[in-house]
Amino acid sequence: MANAQFRFINTLHFRNFQGDLLGGLTAAIVALPLALAFGVSATADISTSAGAITGLYGAIGVGLFASLCGGTPSQISGPTGPMSVVMATIFTALMREDPQSGLAMAFTVVMMAGLFQILFGLLRLGKYITLMPYTVISGFMSGVGLIIITLQIAPLLGHKASSKVVSAIQQLPNVVTDINPVALGLGVLTLVIVFAAPPRLNRILPAPLIALVICTSMSVYLFPNSGIPIIGKIPAGLPEPHLPLFQIKYAKTMLGYSVMLAMLGSIDSLLTSLVADNITHTQHDSDRELIGQGIGNLVSGFLGGLPGAGATMRTVINSKSGGKTPLSGIIHALVLAIIVVGASSLTEPIPNAVLAGILIKVGIDIIDWSFLKRAHRLSLKGAGVMYLVMFLTVFVDLVTAVAVGAFLANLLTIKSLTDLQVETMRTITGPTDDQQLSKLEKEIIAKAQGKILLFFFSGPMSFGAAKSISQRLSIVKAYKVLILDLSDVTRVGITASLAIENILKDADDTGKIVFLVGVHGQVAERLHRIQSIHQLPKDCWFNRRLDALKEAAALLYVPVSQISTVDEH
């Protein structure tokens, strides 16, 4: 009975206990400095007791419940760069609107985002969420990387961070002319360690943790009176619950931000799930993963934590260390919980400059350098979309960037598909050397002397092809019989169906005869639902093109004796 229960909870078992234990411990060691850094970064622009601890609460809440209830066994979840960037904006916006209740509303937004993710999973939208053009994902991720780097320059130099890129850029002249040498030295040392740590050492002790310990120790023992900004006192013990607070006058803002977090967290998590699949050679359940992430964010918001998602680096480290089941994610969360309950005082003297150095490394890693180097060689239009998304991500907001990028990328895709469909369309009214036509079909068309118009379609017909259909048919006016050959059409869209309907109406209004050839499957089902198609007599439907041509020849009084009886092929 116990085994059945464990299988029900996302295939949880203890057969890989040693690997899961090592993977979970390693993931927790990596997550600790990142969670602290994301917590400080997200709350840097507001005056509140919340700070680094929000990152730890988020890592615990999302990490535990996403592992228990999610659909990717080896995935480690917690605060991520993109989610923290959005959360910083939410904190600032809601605290500005209502300083008294803004913090509570911000955590309510996290809970609402979790509910939206649960809804996405229940509606089985998982397979659709990752259908995002790579140019958009690349531009978005690179933009997030630039945001993180820009926002961390000030704390790296010993100053207070800003949550807005524009304000961070505006304060750069003042920051650069008033550098705290101790903060800069510790920040630079952090960067040296995280970049220069040998891969073998990194597998045993993660570079961010090494930098955190070394640089914090130097700050405490070598520069005790430097006055550089540090994390400071954080709450110890269990977190106080944050009950939901929803105010109608801020409904639009809260709903907008919650949908933004939900979509971003879903995309981030499911992309990480694909990475986990590649490493572990397994197949994740995307809808269950969304539900698990949603429950995790619901709990995180209730605990006063940052929103989270599947964390790629932590997931890879967990898998490489032996973690294969949800037990590794549970262990990762429990280790962080133990640190919060019993060892929170150890994190208090950590300098913000050290966390800034760690985050700058994260930002640099997030930027899609590989695609940036070759995007212009692959496609100028694709590169343009990517750079536009990157610009909007940095200087406008993430939702606008993704929405505009997806819209433009889809328009370009539709244009390419339409051009391809148009290239395959052919209109034949006279003698032709078309290889698809048999000798007898060619002869019939030639004998008809332009009175038969044969129109070929192929592949799926989208709405983009509809305009071309009407344009091509408007060129030819003298035909008496129109034969629409749909034998090679696999699917037809609504707009294309209506275009065919207009063709039939125009033909009927002008006294022309229309034959349909090879209508089958979804095409037949769609066309039969259009009223004017039902009005087309049954003897105007043909399975073979040759039969339609023979019938047309008979109607046009092209004597059968004048048509060669050579082999049809």
Q: Are 444 and 477 in contact (CB under 8 A)?
A: no
- CB count within 10 Å of CB 13 equals 16
Q: Which residue, chain included where needed, has tokens 């395959």?
A: 424
Please give the DSSP secondary-structure letter assigned to residue 430: S
Q: Is residue 294 within 8 Å of residue 121, measured between CB atoms? A: yes
Listed residue (69, 8, 30, 78) closest to 269, CA to CA? 78
Bridge-based pairing of strands 452-461 and 426-428 is antiparallel
Place of tokens 């962080």: 336
Which pLDDT does position 11 carry in this prediction? 67
pLDDT in tens, the chain (569 residues): 344 343 446 667 788 888 899 889 888 988 888 898 898 888 877 766 677 889 999 999 999 999 999 999 999 999 998 899 889 889 989 998 888 899 999 999 999 999 999 999 999 998 887 777 888 888 888 888 898 899 889 999 999 877 778 888 999 999 999 999 999 999 999 999 999 988 888 777 788 888 989 999 999 999 988 889 888 777 777 788 889 999 899 999 999 999 989 998 998 899 889 888 878 888 889 999 999 999 999 999 999 999 999 988 889 888 877 888 999 999 999 999 998 887 777 788 989 899 899 889 988 988 889 889 888 888 888 899 999 999 998 998 777 888 899 889 888 887 777 777 777 677 777 777 666 788 888 888 888 888 888 888 776 666 666 666 666 666 666 788 888 888 888 888 777 787 777 777 777 778 888 888 988 888 888 877 775 565 678 788 898 988 888 888 888 876 654 555 444 54
Hunting for tokens 């993704």 — which residue is that? 402
Q: Are 125 and 53 in contact (CB under 8 A)?
A: no
Q: How high is the pLDDT of residue 22?
A: 86
d(CA 276, CA 138): 19
CA distance 463 to 56: 50
DSSP reduced 3-state for 320: helix
The span from the CA of 395 to the CA of 406, in Å, is 18
Strands 513-517 and 481-492: parallel
Q: Which two tokens stand for residue 110?
A: 């996290």
Helix (H) / strand (E) element for 20: namely helix 17-42
What is residue 515's three-state secondary structure? strand
Residue 197, classed as helix, strand or coil, is: coil
Which amino acid, 249? K
Report the distance separating Cα 565 and Cα 568, nearest Å: 8
Numbers of helices and strands, H then E, in the chain: 26, 7
The residue with tokens 């630079």 is 188
| Residues whose CB falls within 8 Å of the CB of residue 441, separated by 6 or more in sequence, listed in order | 545, 546, 549, 568
The per-residue pLDDT for 376 is: 85
End-to-end CA distance of the chain: 69
Give the span between the Cα atoms of 351 and 155, in whole angstroms.
9
CB 452 within 8 Å of CB 444: yes
Place of tokens 């649960």: 118
Residues in CB range of 95: below 8 A, 6 or more apart: 46, 48, 102, 103, 106
Cβ atoms 208, 194 nearer than 8 A = yes
Q: DSSP character for 73?
A: T
Domains with residue ranges and CATH for the chain: 14-231+251-411 (no CATH), 425-562 (3.30.750.24)
- The secondary element (H helix, E strand) that includes residue 235 is none
Contact present, 74 and 279 (Cβ < 8 Å):
yes
Please tell me what DSSP assigns to residue 157.
T
Phi-psi region of 542 (alpha: psi -120 to 50; beta: other; left: phi over 0): beta
Q: Are strands 541-542 and 513-517 parallel, antiparallel or unpaired?
A: parallel
Rounded CA-CA distance 84/10 in Å is: 27
> How many other C-beta atoms lie within 10 A of the C-beta of residue 413?
12
The candidate with the shortest Cα–Cα distance to 85, out of 132, 38, 51, is 38
> Which tokens is 402 given?
């993704």
Dihedral sign of CA atoms 318, 322, 325, 326 in order = negative
DSSP H helical segments within 177-325, as ranges?
A: 181-196, 199-204, 207-221, 251-280, 286-303, 312-320
Phi/psi for 309 (5° steps) reads: -160, 180
Q: How high is the pLDDT of residue 168?
A: 87
Collapsed DSSP state (helix, strand, coil) of residue 233: coil
CA 281 to centroid of chain Cα atoms: 22
